[in-house]
Structure 1
Amino acid sequence: ITHLARTLADARGAQHALARQLITVQEDERRVLARELHDEMGQTLTALNVTATHLARHANMLTRDAVAECATDLRREIRTCGEQLRAMLKTLRPHGLHAAGLAQTLRELVLGWRARHTDIDFELDLPMQLPDVGELLSLTVYRVVQEAVTNVVRHSGASLCVVRLAVRTGGLVLEVRDDGRGLPEEGATWHG
């Protein structure tokens, strides 16, 4: 009975630690989203407002060419706003994961990083056929790759990052490797 009580207490402690960790992750995501909304969308919306205000104040004095130029500016800013919104939504929930599948969604993720960081060579190694692993596991694999690649970009100083997903008996094996500097000695262990 004592052993069972200890096991139960350990399990409850682990459950509480996981709950705290989940809250921390959610708050981190909210903080990043709030910063992106403020920094990126805020600037774009301000530019839209400035152009619209200019049009409203000077409508009767503007030439056709000036109005056309303002309209072009508005369209460009609206397009930028849409691109920023799509990028943020993709961060929150990868579009097409359920429809296109895990392989295609991982390809799009890696292509996105290739487009943003030309100083890191990103490689993606996927099997010809992935089994249907369900939405929850697909989302989990996607999030792990997303976080790992983000850490490579932010912290590793790498010139190469390889994302490899393989099918093994009983499931999938995911590997994200880079040629960066790695963890410092004091940070080499994880306590979860």
Structure 2
Amino acid sequence: MFHLSMPLFWRVCLINGAVFLLGTLALALSPATVSAQPLLSELVVLLLGLTVIVLVNGALLRAVLRPLDRLTTVMARIDLRYPGLRLDEAGSGPARELVRGFNAMLERLEVERSTSTTRALQAQEAERQRIAQELHDEVGQSLTAVLLGLRYFMDTAPEPVRAELDALRDTTRTSLEEVRRISQRLRPGDLTDLGLVSALAGLARDTSARNGPHVRRRLPSSVPDLPPETELVIYRVVQEALTNVVRHARATTVDLDLSLSDDALVLRVADNGVGIRAGAMGAGIQGMLERARMVGGDLSVRSHGGGGGTEVRLRLPVPAPVLGRAGS
């Protein structure tokens, strides 16, 4: 194990020294001689010997430094948003310790990024809950009080003023509905009160009702008992996917499918819009990817192009005991 723990600098020096020593011994023990004025044949022998030394030295150094070339290539491809890329330690030769250290560093970075992302998303959800509660308790109640006051004054106001108060009441009622809608998006009460399937159906109805594309949903009557974090991830992925469709896709129809395979729950949101650019990674898509990884899921976003639209697919592994309870 000594050669594995030796610094790379000393390995290179050792290889060069060994090659030069062997070359010197070969010249010293060979019958070749060099005249005071070297002959052409002697120069040819010296040139051949030098060529052999250089080639052997290059081959040995190449074996040591090749993993560094692979390391440089991998470093250029590293993207912590797509974890799992590693160098092969088995084929690294003398640079195995360097490769092992690099892989360990990547592992730590991915774990730290995953942990920090999870904390950030949890903090985001907590902040959404707080804002939604304040909208409901303060802004919502204030607007409700305004509506009641307008109704009282309309009963006693003269006819010309009553028409203006009626218009103001309509504006206030619209604002109250908008506040309630924003509060619902921030804190999906349907998810807690009615369950995942009903909450997804509500998202689909709301999207179609707001002059959005027609959402064709194929949802099961029930799903296995899932952790609240997993249900929230599914809800947020559908919410973000439908929001992207409304804002960017220029689609007329969207398919929302949720199905249970042998070992996984598969969610699919596909539209017939303009698609997305290759390699596009906005904050919305990145957020969906991070949420999926939080619960061990696998999310992909594919664009069919040419009017074929975009497909968001989320696959979440479901433990066998949960599947057993769902089937019983």
Same fold judged by TM-score > 0.5?
Answer: yes
Q: Does 1:89 align with 2:156?
A: no
Structure 1 residue 147 displacement after superposition:
0.4
Seen in structure 2, the aligned counterparts of structure 1 residues 64 and 98 have a Cα distance that, compared at 3 Å, is closer
Aligned to 1:152: 245
Among 159, 167, 175, the alignment partner of 2:260 is 167
Which structure exhibits the higher relative contact order, with contacts defined as CA atoms closer than 8 Å and separated by 6 or more residues? 1
Q: Aligned residue for 2:269?
A: 176
Q: CA deviation at 1:163?
A: 0.8
> 1:35-77 deviations in whole A, cap 9, x for unaligned?
xx9xxx8xx97xx6xx99xxxxxx9xxx933498376566545
2:205 corresponds to 1:117: no
Select which of 218, 228, 236 maps to 1:143. Answer: 236
Instruction: State the 1:21 CA deviation.
Output: 9.0
**How high is the TM-score relative to the length of structure 1?**
0.67
Partner of 2:59 in structure 1? none
Equivalenced residues, count: 171
Q: Deviations over 1:128-160 (max 9, x none)?
A: 321121311111100000001111111111111
SS in 2 for 1:163: strand
Alpha-carbon shift at residue 81 of structure 1 (Å): 3.5
Aligned pair in 2 of structure 1 residues 188, 88: CA closer, same or farther (>3 Å)?
closer
* 8 Å Cα contact 2:191-2:199 kept in structure 1: yes
- Cα distance in 1 between the residues matched to 2:174 and 2:100: 58
In the TM superposition, residue 165 of structure 1 has moved relative to its aligned partner by 0.4
* Counterparts in 2 of 1:66 and 1:6: CA distance versus 1, 3 Å: farther
- Cα distance change on mapping 1:22 and 1:113 into 2, 3 Å: farther
Distance 1:108 1:166 in 2: 18
Q: Tell me which of 4, 7, 12 is aligned to 2:108.
A: 12
Q: By how many angstroms is 1:178 displaced?
A: 0.7
Aligned match of 2:51: none
Find 2:278's aligned residue among 166, 185, 189: 185
- The match for 1:132 is 225
User: Residues 20 and 126 from structure 1, CA distance in 2 versus in 1: closer, same or farther, beyond 3 angstroms?
Assistant: closer
Amino acid of the structure 2 residue aligned with 1:65: A
1:184 and 1:64 map into 2 onto residues whose CA distance is 60
Aligned partner of residue 225 in structure 2, secondary structure: coil
Matched, 1:64 2:156: yes
Distance 1:181 1:78, change over 3 A: closer
Secondary structure of the equivalent of 1:185?
A: coil
Q: Give the secondary structure class of the aligned counterpart of 2:258.
A: strand
Deviations 1:1-40 (A, max 9, x none): 95664444213322454436975994xx98xx8xxx9xxx
Unaligned runs of 5+ in 2: 1-95, 290-328
CA distance in 1, matches of 2:251, 2:207: 13
State the SS of the aligned residue for 2:189: coil
Off by >6 Å, runs of 4+ in structure 1: 188-192
Q: CA RMSD in A?
A: 4.2
> Which position in structure 1 is the counterpart of 2:61?
none
User: Quick check: 1:107 aligned with 2:191?
Assistant: no
